[in-house]
């Protein structure tokens, strides 16, 4: 089993190294925006879009052009990776997985990537990392890096620089531990498991909401782009960073515990974008309970349901387990005892009482049980379809024709 894993550390660069990293990130951003503008110009003229090889030829011309000769001061591989990112963005757009590529802005996700492991040196004993045209960088060595280094990404967040070291290593096929469990996601309870365990929500945004509101108001009173405005903006960014770090840390702890103790996890396939959609409506048809829905949307987005599912997915795969997503329809309205489905079964947000048989239980617990049963049924169908032999007259991998 081949395992890809990234290890992220904060780096402690010197003043000159910080200036160099800002230049390299700016050069990659310039190349990305220039290539995107050039692709748009070709499209308006009716010409076909160039691929990665054609863009690399243009990059060579830009590096030798007297107007953009400063691009030669940056390492060439990160500049080429910026073109690869643009090519991937176009591929995701045409596959309807993402929107059309947008121009990058200074200060937003500034980063650059070194793809050649031959140019990277990692000295874990002395907590140092060597990168081309940057030299040796000191980093906060919080854990050991396992595997062979594949690439290194340098990024900036709230004035701090980080390195993400992606490694690759061969591991024995893991044997999953534990049984199956269903999970019901919520706001009052972040996650309720079908075995009775539940996790309270962290609500990291709600904890820092007053501080964030105060900092944003202070920033709004400053003259835009002044020194005081930049200081106030950095304060707002630090609060947002703390909110995100606390949320990710909490999700990592819960997802690690669940993935290590269960072989199969059944979870609801929640449409978070639809659930958190605004209820304001339009001028002609205004919405109802807009203020209450706005608070609910804020609480839903504060939980990080999609990130939790993403972490569960790859951590279960690392441990040899399975993640099964089931439709969320009627999971909290179906009685697990008699199977009766009714909206009247949900007496309140936390209380479930079946109007048919009188079964009573916590509503989140009932949802987790129903999710677990639906996941078992879905997993059994997928396994049976995978091992079912092909129909007579059809080749393997083809479905039999009907009619």
**Residue 364 annotated among the catalytic residues of the structure:** yes
Q: What is the pLDDT of residue 293?
A: 83
Q: How far apart are CA 254 and CA 234, in angstroms?
A: 30
- pLDDT value at position 384? 66
| Catalytic residue, candidates 85, 87, 110, 184 | 184
Q: What is the pLDDT of residue 389?
A: 60
Task: Read off the DSSP letter of residue 142.
Answer: -
For residue 386, name the pLDDT band (cuts at 50, 70, 90).
low
Contact 169, 148 (CB under 8 A): yes
Mean pLDDT across 60-72: 95
67 annotated active-site: no
Tell me, yes or no, if 385 is annotated catalytic: no
**Can you spell out the DSSP letters for 196-213?**
S-EE----HHHHTHHHHH
pLDDT at 283 (0 to 100): 67
Query: Which helix H or strand E contains 131, and what residues bound it?
Result: strand 128-131
Contact 312, 199 (CB under 8 A): no
pLDDT tens by residue, 196-216: 999 999 999 999 999 999 999
Which pLDDT score is estimated for 387?
Answer: 55
> What is the Cα gyration radius of the chain?
26
More confident residue, 109 or 396: 109
Between these two residues, 153 and 277, which has the higher pLDDT value?
153
Crossing angle of the two packed helices 290-303 and 305-318, in degrees rounded to 10:
20
CATH 3.30.420 boundaries in the chain: 180-201+242-384
Catalytic residue among 85, 87, 110, 268: 268
For domain 180-201+242-384, give the fold. Nucleotidyltransferase; domain 5 (3.30.420)
For 242-300, write each residue's pLDDT tens digit. Answer: 999 999 999 999 999 999 999 999 999 999 888 888 887 766 777 777 888 888 899 99
Confirm if 215 and 242 have CB atoms less than 8 A apart.
Answer: no
The pairs formed by 45-52 with CB atoms below 8 angstroms and a separation of 24 or more are 49/90, 51/87, 52/83, 52/84, 52/87
Among 175, 129, 135, 161, which Cα is nearest to 1's?
175
Question: Whole-model pTM?
Answer: 0.87
Point out the catalytic residue in the list 364, 382, 385, 398.
364
pLDDT at 56 over 70: yes
């Amino acid at each position: 089993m081949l395992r890809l894993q990234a290890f992220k550390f904060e780096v402690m660069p010197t003043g000159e190294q910080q200036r160099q990293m800002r230049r390299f990130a700016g050069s990659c951003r310039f190349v990305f925006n220039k290539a995107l503008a050039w692709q748009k110009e070709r499209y308006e003229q009716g010409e076909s879009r160039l691929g990665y090889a054609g863009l690399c030829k243009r990059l060579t011309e830009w590096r030798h052009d007297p107007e953009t000769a400063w691009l030669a001061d940056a390492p060439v591989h990160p500049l080429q990776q910026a073109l690869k990112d643009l090519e991937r963005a176009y591929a995701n757009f045409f596959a309807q997985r993402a929107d059309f590529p947008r121009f990058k802005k200074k200060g937003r996700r500034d980063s650059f990537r070194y793809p050649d492991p031959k140019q990277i040196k990692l000295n874990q004993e002395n907590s140092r990392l060597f990168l081309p045209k940057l030299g040796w960088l000191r980093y906060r060595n919080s854990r050991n890096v396992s595997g062979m280094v594949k690439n290194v990404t340098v990024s900036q967040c709230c004035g701090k620089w980080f390195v993400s070291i992606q490694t690759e290593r061969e591991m024995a096929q893991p044997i999953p531990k534990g049984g199956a469990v269903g999970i019901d996601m919520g706001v009052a309870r972040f996650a309720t498991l079908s075995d009775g365990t539940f996790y309270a929500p962290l609500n990291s945004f709600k904890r820092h909401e007053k501080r964030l509101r105060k900092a944003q108001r202070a920033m709004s009173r400053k003259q835009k782009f002044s020194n005081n405005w930049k200081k106030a903006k950095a304060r707002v960014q630090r609060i947002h960073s703390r909110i995100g770090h606390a949320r990710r840390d909490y999700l990592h702890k819960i997802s690690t515990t669940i993935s290590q103790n269960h072989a199969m996890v059944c979870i609801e396939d929640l449409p978070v974008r639809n659930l958190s959609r605004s209820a304001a409506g339009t001028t002609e048809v205004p919405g109802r309970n807009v203020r209450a829905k706005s608070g609910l949307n804020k609480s839903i987005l504060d939980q990080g349901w999609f990130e939790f599912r993403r972490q569960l997915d790859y951590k279960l795969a690392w441990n040899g387990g399975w993640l099964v997503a089931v439709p969320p329809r009627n999971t909290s309205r179906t009685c697990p005892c008699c199977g009766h489905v009714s909206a009247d079964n949900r007496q309140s947000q936390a209380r479930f009482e079946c109007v048919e048989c009188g079964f009573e239980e916590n509503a989140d617990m009932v949802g987790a049980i129903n999710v677990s049963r639906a996941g078992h049924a879905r997993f059994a169908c997928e396994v049976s379809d995978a091992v079912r032999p092909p129909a007579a007259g059809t080749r393997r991998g083809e479905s039999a024709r009907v009619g």
